[in-house]
Structures are given as structure tokens and as C-alpha cells.
Amino acid sequence: MHPIDWLIIGAYLAWIVWTGVEHTRGSKEIEGYFLGNRSNPWWAVGLSVMATQLSAITMVGTTGQGYTDGLRFVQFYFGLPLAMVILSVTAVPFFHRAKVYTAYEYLERRFDLKTRTLTSALFLVSRGLSCGTIISAPAVILSIILGWNLTLTVLLIGIPTAIYTMLGGVQAVTWTDVKQMYIIVFGLVAVAVALVLGLPADVSLGDALSVAGATGRMQAFDFRFTTTETYTFWSGLIGGLFLMLSYFGCDQSQVQRYLTARSEQEATSSLYMSAYWKIPLQVLVLMIGVLVFVFYLFNQPPMLFNPVHEAKVKASPQAGAYAAAEQRFDAAFAARRDAATALTSSEPATRAAAEDAFLKADADLKAVRSDAIAIVQDTTGDRSYRDVNYVFPTFVTTRLPIGLIGIILAAIMAAAMSSIAAELNALATTTVIDFYRRLVRPEAPDAHYLSVSRLATAFWGVFTCIVALFAADLGSLIEVVNRFGSFFYGSILGVFMLAMLTRRASGTGAFVGLIGGMTLVATVAFTRPEISFLWHNVIGAVGVVVVGSLVSLLAPARRPEPAS
Amino acid sequence: MTGTPHQKTATSAISVIVVEIITLLALFALQQTFSR
């Protein structure tokens, strides 16, 4: 990598850590450290909410999905705007008026201690693990680019983030998120422009999208009502709605963002920023993946995008077979390039034939790649090997001009660090507020809690780095993170639905309902693995509400509490 | 924006849903234009 790119990455890291440390001043007491004294403007909170959700996995995994599958993953977000509307009249006013530090604190006021403790423990387990996968994605990229070992790159991402989060608390997280969001959006727009400018002279953007469309990559909607297809219009709208309700309404890493807003109204406005911009932003990210696919129609791609595995195969007894596959791949690429060129210059009368020829050439190239992947799987013993997460970083580091490489890598690091910081901050808040202050030491000065909070942040920083080292070899990282969440998300949402929507639900009902909902999701996940994980959110939430309501009817609370 | 808090909430919610419908229609148009 060129020194200018290094300089850009170094400047980015210095700027972000400085911004974080600068906000240490406003974090001298616990409300400032965890909630920024509830003083932040809606736009900063809104950018922080978006930066928290948009991790490096979005930039690396989602562009990879755009490259292989096209736009269909965008359906995952169709329920998000509706979720924001529902949350603006439920969770936002409930939490703001209750003046809580964590979403789970509210559950004790409404139900009882055991329900609060169980939900906060589930949050700590699921988020602690998923935060590890959020670190591992950019760490894998850097380990490839720099040729360093993975431990070092995990620490390079994790330590600066843990330091500024530990020192500056939520204010450091929010204001670094704002700057990181600027870098991410700038980086995404810049790479999209570079891809369009990089098209061959006689291929317009319309031609490029038509070629991508011929392979099905412009197919954003799948209206089939099936529970076995992961991303459809209905799973995105219904399953996605439940997932987003749980993520933005019951997950401390997001709830804490909008608890820092100046007012209830500003908290709502911050969520509406995501409602308006998330789908267009996600289309941009996927479209970048589609355009990378088009770029590699006219410019030779590597046969496999993970150079580490490729090197292993070349040093193994399978090297001969791999070299033969490479020769076939070169020929298949040339044939596909010619077919793509013929398709872009075809007249309407010959277009169908040109399209068929192109699709056949594309299938031939895919077949060679499948053979190569099988060789890698045999050599490494890793049957789940996929290189989807390596497509975008390979393109960035080998095809973009000097300067832009540094900016995109800084944007990937920004995406990672903004999410990790919010998670660490939320994990520390839940540890201190829901466990330490509630169960271990209820009466202590703020200074004591502040020290414990910084220690808790450091602990979670180390924990997630360790998880990251194990998560690095998993398949498509974005699905791994979402699968982690879906085992708990729907059920936790169900508990909050019981709390906010009914006055009759009792603490015991909510607690038993939560266990019942999770048992139901686990049963479905293991006995009917073909059901898409997005539906687990619906099953969990409905399961908790049904079981919780029944138990509440059989064992009602002695003195029903009002719903707010 | 003027009006009671309830009116403001309703107006904002309707705006979000209208913008989502427009976004999805635009995406659908993009799909139909460039898909096979």
C-alpha cells in the first residue's frame, strides 16, 4: 500500500481517538458518562443510530452479497421504517418519561427483578458475541492487506475503540459516530463514482445495469410467500419489522443512542432519520457490489478472492489441479467478457440471443470457480469456505487509485469502530446499571460507578476481541450476526410488548413467557432449519405474548401496575 | 410544524410511510427497467 494511503488511515485514527478523548470532559458523573446528560441534538443522535447499525460487515459482507446475489438483500430492511413509526409512539415516550439508563431497567418497574435480570443477561450474551463478529470482519481484511496475523489486526481495531469509549463514555461514542458517518458516506459515494467512471468507454451505466439485470442481480423484490427463502418481500416486511422493533426498541446498544437526545421529540426525529435513509443507503451499498460484478466482467478478477487460501492451495499437492483450473478460468473469463461486450452492443433483435450466450458464459465461469472452491475445501478441510467477504476489499486494494484506497479502508474502519464503540458502551451500561448497581453495590458515589463503568468497558473490549479471533473463519458474516440475534430478539421484543401493550401481564407471566418464547424459537430452529431466521423474530415475539398472557391470566399480579 | 403533539406525531408517521412507499416504488421501477 502507498504511503499516502497509510497517512490517510493514520490521520483518521488520530482524528477519531482525539475526538473521543476530547469528550472525556463531559463525562465526570454517571448520567454524563452513560447518557450525555440527555443533551444531544436529534441529528447527532440520528447519525449515531445509523453509524451503530452500519458496521464494517455492511461494507464488506453486503457489498459481497451485492456482487453474488444482487439487490435482493435490501428486502431485509423493508420493515425498518414501519418499526420506527411504531417505536416513536411506544418505546421512545416510555423510556424517556421513565428516565431510565437501560431498556431493561424499565422492565423491573413494570414487572419484576427476575424479568429485568434475564433480559439484560440475554443482551450481554448475544451482544457480547455479535460484537466479536463485528470486530473480526475488518480485522480479516487488514490481516490480508498487511500480511499480519489476525490477533494483531483484531487489536488494532479493538484497542483504540475501547480506549476512547472507556474514557469518554456515550459522548465520545456519539460524536465519533457523527464523524465516522461522514467518512462512511463519503467513502461509499466515492467508490460508486469510481466504479461508474471505471466502466469501459463504450459501456454506459444503463448498459452495465442491464448486464447485471440479465443475471438477476437487479431483482430487488421477491413476492413469493415462503418461510424457507431467507430474503423475500414478506420476510423483510413482517420478520424484518419484528427484528427492527426488537433491535431499535429493546436492544440497549440502540436504545442508549436515543436516550441521549434532548427531548422525546428529538429522539423520535433521530429514529426517523434511519426510516428515511436506511433503505436508500443500503441500495447504494448493494449497488456497489453489483457494479464491482460488472467491473469484473470487463477486467479479469482473481479466480478466488481470498489470497491466503489461494497461497495454501498452491503450496499443496493440489497445486497442479488448481493451475489447470486457473487456465480454464482465464479462458472462461475471456469468453464471458466477449459475451458481455456483445450483449452491451446488441440490437433489440439480437438481444435475447446475446443474453443467452452471456448467461451461458457466466455459468461456465461459475462452474470453474466452484471447482476451485472445492479444491480449496479439500486442501484446507474447511467445508464452509466462501470468499464473498473478500470481494470488496480485494477490489479496493487492487483496483482503486492511491488515496481512495486509504479513504475506503478508513471508512471500513470507521464503520467497524462506530458499531463496536456503541456496543461496548451499551454492554458496560447494562453490566453496571442492571447488575453491579442493582445487585452488588446499590449505594455508592458516582465516582465509584464511573470507575467500575470504565473497567466494565475495558473488560468487554477484551472479551469481544477474543470472540473476534474465533469468529473470523465463519461464512457470510452478516448472516452470522443476524442469526445470533434472532435466537433472542423476537422473545425479548415479546416481553416489551407485554409490558407496553397490556396492563394485565404479570412479572411471572413475562418471565415464563420469555423462557417459553426462546424455547419455541430454539425448537423451530433445530427441528425446522429450513425456516428462514427472519421468521424466528415473529415466532419468538408471538410466543412470548401468548405464553405470557396465559400465565398472567392463571397467576395474575397481586396489584396490577399501570402500563406507564 | 404547527399543530398539537398528536397531529405532529401523525403527520411525521404518515410522512415516513409515504416516503417508504415512494422509495419502494422507485426501487421496483429500477428492477423492472433493468431486469430480464
Separation between Cα atoms, residue B26 and residue B34, nearest integer Å = 12
Within 10 angstroms of residue A197's Cβ, the number of other Cβ atoms is 7
Q: What is the pTM of this model?
A: 0.92
pLDDT range class, residue A355, cuts 50, 70, 90: very high
Question: Do the Cβ atoms of A172 and A21 come closer than 8 Å?
Answer: yes
pLDDT in tens, A382-427: 777 778 888 999 999 999 999 999 999 999 999 999 999 999 999 9
Separation between Cα atoms, residue B1 and residue B12, nearest integer Å = 10
CB contact under 8 A, A85 and B27: no
Q: What is the pLDDT of residue A310?
A: 78
Q: Which chain B residues are Cβ-neighbours of A213 within 8 angstroms?
A: 34-36
Q: What is the pLDDT of residue A168?
A: 92
The 3-state DSSP class for residue A261 equals: strand
Q: Which residues pair with A261 in a beta bridge?
A: A40
Tell me the DSSP string of A395-420.
HHHHHSPTTHHHHHHHHHHHHHHHHH
Q: What is the pLDDT of residue A477?
A: 56
Domain ranges across chain A: 3-209+224-284+404-473, 307-386, 487-564
Separation between Cα atoms, residue A374 and residue A245, nearest integer Å = 40
CB contact under 8 A, B12 and A272: yes
pLDDT in tens, A197-250: 999 999 999 999 999 999 999 999 999 998 888 899 999 999 999 999 999 999
CATH fold for the domain made of A3-209+224-284+404-473: Sodium/glucose cotransporter (1.20.1730)
CB contact under 8 A, B19 and A276: yes
CB contact under 8 A, A89 and B35: no
Inter-chain Cβ pairs, chain A and chain B, closer than 8 A = 62
Single out the residue of A132, A38, A63, A466 nearest to residue A286, CA to CA.
Answer: A63
Mutation target vs B (from A219, A237, A269, A362; most B CBs, 10 A cutoff): A219
Q: Which residue of B has its CA nearest to A274?
A: B16
pLDDT in tens, A468-513: 888 766 545 555 555 666 678 899 999 999 999 888 899 999 999 9
Separation between Cα atoms, residue A237 and residue A231, nearest integer Å = 10
- Amino acid A458 reads A
Burial letters for A26-61: b for 16+ Cβ neighbours within 10 Å, e otherwise?
Answer: bbeebebbbbbbbebebebbbbbbbbbbbbbbbbbb
Query: Does ipTM top 0.90?
Result: yes
Separation between Cα atoms, residue A230 and residue A215, nearest integer Å = 19
